[in-house]
């Protein structure tokens, strides 16, 4: 009977020494919390706040930064805490990593493990390189290499390429060779190349001490490419062979297509890491707007290399010089570059060339727009060599008498017929302002004439005299039916014109003849001609995937028939008789006054329709539509 008593006494002694027995502690929540806190800090790339077992957070941060330094900001990994398990007398947590580098098609994913130890202050992670990657060892880091994707092509009608990769020669200063004479060399090279000296000096100044600073890129067959003997006289001047994405010629649709070149600081900042210094991107035009589509996805290779090994300098543009030798070590991620997608436009190579040729010798800002009405295709969007910016689609000018086609539609809708008689006096005074016809208007067509002849001979006073029949709202509605006045997204900046309110009598009068506050672009006026030709409202289509639908009151077949007949009369008897040799085309000439000079300067316009073609020609400084714009129209039509 003594044995149970001994056991009972032992239990009583145990209780008396330690109080109530302590149940086993569940530490799983504490361990999970410690692991989650570490995952959050690693994802932020800032582990300084973490208390590691045996290592200060500042030291761990230095190690982490050293390892991942080449994965530049703003790249942040997603790090997710996984399960915590007991393994070989140790507590181990799992971390799931995913680096999604901007501009790279696929994410770099892997799993790492981290040891957790229990301390008097709670559970603490143990720092080691394997926390960041399972194959990292002490004294190693990530070496990152980018490879450029093949850029997509901008195509036109019949999938004809408008851009392609071509061999070029880059000319610039190698700053490390020029040394202290870099400014003198930069100015000498700028003079040789006939470029802005101050701009190039500023560019060289901002470059690294050993950097090659490009001044200009030449096509290999460019006759203006400098001779090596001339460059040899300039210290540090250098020719570098390369390839570049170029249009068919240096001038071919340049304001529309844009160019491809080295990314600017602004582009890099806006890209949020997808573009880095040295990358080639679209600069202006379609190349810039659709850059992400065209440039594709860069390739990315990550290698584990020793800190004291031969780590290659990242080369984001392998075409500029031989690709770097692969770093010694283990490749842990290799995402192949994904070529960019092509961009389909409706431009026609022949029409674009012909339009540009017709503008080549015009000593003024000028533009030509060609549209195929049957499918709304913009066949040519040509800007003259004197243009500042893209004016063909985005210019804003008074359309002058070409707008009378819009006014004629409004009058037809007000109940007038093409054969109705109207008065065409030599002058007309409205609220104290004297309006007159253009210089050279045939006096035989003063007096009583038909509405058709008022359009054909372009009688300003006749249209102004009919202003009580149509309001500005009526003009806006007619403009919308002819594709003008509503801004549509055609995949490229485009201005379709407007007919603003004007409370004054003179403003209403001026609007009747496309003056005052009325404005349009050449594309807008080409849309007017295209709508007449097609018999329905035409919204021009430049980029195939951006075909817009009209939102205005539809143009009726009868209205289109009447307008075609009136525009045909302009060619057979009116102000565009020079076009009679081009078949059954119709036209409308236009001269628009602008500025404050006396006499005022004038824009010259002409719009044309016929044989499933619509055209608008604009010349900023011209005498009249027939004498200035007319020859350009004839030159384009003769080449088709």
320 shares a domain with 358: no
Average predicted confidence (pLDDT) for the chain: 91
pLDDT tens for residues 113-156? 999 999 999 999 999 999 999 999 999 999 999 999 999 999 99
588 shares a domain with 466: yes
Q: At 327, is the pLDDT very low, low, confident or very high (cuts 50, 70, 90)?
A: very low
389 shares a domain with 251: no
Task: Calculate mean pLDDT across residues 266-270.
Answer: 90
Q: At 18, is the pLDDT very low, low, confident or very high (cuts 50, 70, 90)?
A: very low
pLDDT tens for residues 452-473? 999 999 999 999 999 999 999 9
547 shares a domain with 419: yes
Q: At 531, is the pLDDT very low, low, confident or very high (cuts 50, 70, 90)?
A: very high
Task: Calculate mean pLDDT across residues 444-450.
Answer: 97
Judging by beta carbons within 10 Å of its beta carbon (0-12, 13-18, 19+), is residue 633 exposed, middle or buried?
buried
Domain-ending residue, one of 113, 138, 163: 138
| Model confidence at 218: pLDDT above 50 | yes
| Model confidence at 25: pLDDT above 60 | no
Residue 505 lies in a domain: yes
Domain-ending residue, one of 343, 378, 400: 343
Task: Calculate mean pLDDT across residues 439-453.
Answer: 95
219 shares a domain with 101: no
138-142, 327-331, 396-400, 587-591 — which is least confidently predicted? Answer: 327-331
Task: Calculate mean pLDDT across residues 251-272.
Answer: 92
400 shares a domain with 313: no
| Model confidence at 610: pLDDT above 80 | yes
220 shares a domain with 119: no
What pLDDT is stored for residue 24 in this prediction? 42
What pLDDT is stored for residue 66 in this prediction? 95
pLDDT tens for residues 184-199? 999 999 999 999 999 9
pLDDT tens for residues 565-581? 999 999 999 999 999 99
What pLDDT is stored for residue 598 in this prediction? 87
Gap between the Cα atoms of 181 and 173, Å rounded: 11
End-to-end CA distance of the chain: 124
628 shares a domain with 561: yes
pLDDT tens for residues 72-105? 877 899 999 999 999 888 999 999 999 999 999 9
Gap between the Cα atoms of 156 and 409, Å rounded: 34
What pLDDT is stored for residue 265 in this prediction? 87
CATH code (residue 377):
3.40.710.10
Gap between the Cα atoms of 548 and 298, Å rounded: 32
pLDDT tens for residues 478-524? 999 999 999 999 999 999 999 999 989 999 999 999 999 999 999 99
Nearest alpha-carbon partner for 96 in 119, 113, 84 = 113
CATH code (residue 180):
3.90.1310
| Model confidence at 4: pLDDT above 50 | no
Task: Calculate mean pLDDT across residues 589-606.
Answer: 93
298 shares a domain with 374: no
Domain-ending residue, one of 343, 378, 394: 343
551 shares a domain with 490: yes
Q: Is the N-terminal amide bond of 74 cis, ω within 30° of 0?
A: yes
Residue 175 lies in a domain: yes
209 shares a domain with 167: yes
Task: Calculate mean pLDDT across residues 606-610.
Answer: 98
Q: Give me the torsion for CA of 40, 46, 47, 49, rounded to 10°.
A: -90
Residue 3 lies in a domain: no
What pLDDT is stored for residue 410 in this prediction? 98
Residue 17 lies in a domain: no
* Domain region containing 246: 154-343
CATH code (residue 46):
3.10.450.100
Percent of the chain past pLDDT 70, that is, above it, reads: 93
Q: At 326, is the pLDDT very low, low, confident or very high (cuts 50, 70, 90)?
A: very low
Between 354 and 310, the more confident residue is 354
Task: Calculate mean pLDDT across residues 316-345.
Answer: 73
pLDDT tens for residues 363-416? 999 999 999 999 999 999 999 999 999 999 999 999 999 999 999 999 999 999
Residue 487 lies in a domain: yes
Residue 257 lies in a domain: yes
Judging by beta carbons within 10 Å of its beta carbon (0-12, 13-18, 19+), is residue 88 exposed, middle or buried?
exposed
Residue 53 lies in a domain: yes
pLDDT tens for residues 471-488? 999 999 999 999 999 999
Residue 149 lies in a domain: no
Nearest alpha-carbon partner for 66 in 9, 119, 161, 133 = 133
Give the three-class secondary structure for 194.
coil
Task: Calculate mean pLDDT across residues 441-460.
Answer: 97
- Is the Cβ–Cβ distance between 532 and 482 less than 8 Å? yes
Number of domains in the chain: 3
Task: Calculate mean pLDDT across residues 48-59.
Answer: 94
448 shares a domain with 403: yes
Judging by beta carbons within 10 Å of its beta carbon (0-12, 13-18, 19+), is residue 4 exposed, middle or buried?
exposed
């Amino acid at each position: 009977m003594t044995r149970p008593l001994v056991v009972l006494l032992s239990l009583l002694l145990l209780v008396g020494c330690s109080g109530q027995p302590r149940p086993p502690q569940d530490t799983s929540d504490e361990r999970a919390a410690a692991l989650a806190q570490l995952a959050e800090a690693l994802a932020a790339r800032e582990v300084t706040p973490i208390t590691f077992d045996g290592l200060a957070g500042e030291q761990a941060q230095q190690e982490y930064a050293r390892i991942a330094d080449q994965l530049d900001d703003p790249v942040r990994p997603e790090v997710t805490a996984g399960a915590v398990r007991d393994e070989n007398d140790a507590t181990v947590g799992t971390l799931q990593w995913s680096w999604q580098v901007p501009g790279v098609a696929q994410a770099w994913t892997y799993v790492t493990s981290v040891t957790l130890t229990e301390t008097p202050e709670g559970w603490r992670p143990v720092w080691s390189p394997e926390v960041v990657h399972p194959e990292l060892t002490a004294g190693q880091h990530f070496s990152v290499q980018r490879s450029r994707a093949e850029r997509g092509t901008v195509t036109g009608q019949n999938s004809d390429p408008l851009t392609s990769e071509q061999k070029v020669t880059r000319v610039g200063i190698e700053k490390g060779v020029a040394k202290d004479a870099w400014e003198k060399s930069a100015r000498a090279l700028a003079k040789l190349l006939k470029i802005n000296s101050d701009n190039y000096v500023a560019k060289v100044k901002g470059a690294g001490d050993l950097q090659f600073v490009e001044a200009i890129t030449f096509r290999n067959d460019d006759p203006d490419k400098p001779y090596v003997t001339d460059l040899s006289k300039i210290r540090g001047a250098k020719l570098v062979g390369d390839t570049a994405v170029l249009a068919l010629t240096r001038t071919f649709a340049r304001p529309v297509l844009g160019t491809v070149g080295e990314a600017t600081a602004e582009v890099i900042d806006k890209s949020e890491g997808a573009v880095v210094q040295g990358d080639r991107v679209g600069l202006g035009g379609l190349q810039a707007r659709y850059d992400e589509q065209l440039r594709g996805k860069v390739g990315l290779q990550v290698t584990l290399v020793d800190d004291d090994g031969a780590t290659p300098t990242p080369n984001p543009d392998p075409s500029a010089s031989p690709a770097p030798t692969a770093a010694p070590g283990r490749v842990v991620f290799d995402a192949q570059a994904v070529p960019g997608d092509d961009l389909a436009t409706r431009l026609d190579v022949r029409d674009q060339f012909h339009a540009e040729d017709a503008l080549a010798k015009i000593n003024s800002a000028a533009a030509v727009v060609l549209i195929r009405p049957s499918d709304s295709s913009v066949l040519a969007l040509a800007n003259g060599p004197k243009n500042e910016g893209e004016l063909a689609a985005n210019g804003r000018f008074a359309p002058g008498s070409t707008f009378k086609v819009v006014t004629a539609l409004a009058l037809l809708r007000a109940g007038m017929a093409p054969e109705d008689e109207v008065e065409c006096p030599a002058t007309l005074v409205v609220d104290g302002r004297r309006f007159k016809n253009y210089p050279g208007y045939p006096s035989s067509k003063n007096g009583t004439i038909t509405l058709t002849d008022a359009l054909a001979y372009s009688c300003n006073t006749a249209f102004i005299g009919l202003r009580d029949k149509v309001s500005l709202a009526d003009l806006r509605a007619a403009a919308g039916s002819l594709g003008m006045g509503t801004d549509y997204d055609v995949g490229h900046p485009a201005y379709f014109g407007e007919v603003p309110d004007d409370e004054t009598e003179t403003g209403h009068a001026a609007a009747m003849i496309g003056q005052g506050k009325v404005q349009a672009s050449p594309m807008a006026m080409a849309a007017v001609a295209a709508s007449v030709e097609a018999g329905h409202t035409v919204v021009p289509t430049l980029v195939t995937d951006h075909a817009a639908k009209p939102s205005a009151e539809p143009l009726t077949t009868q209205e289109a028939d009447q307008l075609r007949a009136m525009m045909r009369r302009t060619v057979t008897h009116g102000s565009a008789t020079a076009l009679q040799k081009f078949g059954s085309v119709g036209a409308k000439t236009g001269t628009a006054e602008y500025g404050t000079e006396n006499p005022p300067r004038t824009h010259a316009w002409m719009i044309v329709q016929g044989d499933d073609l619509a055209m608008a020609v604009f010349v900023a400084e011209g005498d009249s539509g027939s004498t200035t714009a007319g020859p350009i129209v004839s030159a384009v039509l003769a080449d088709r």
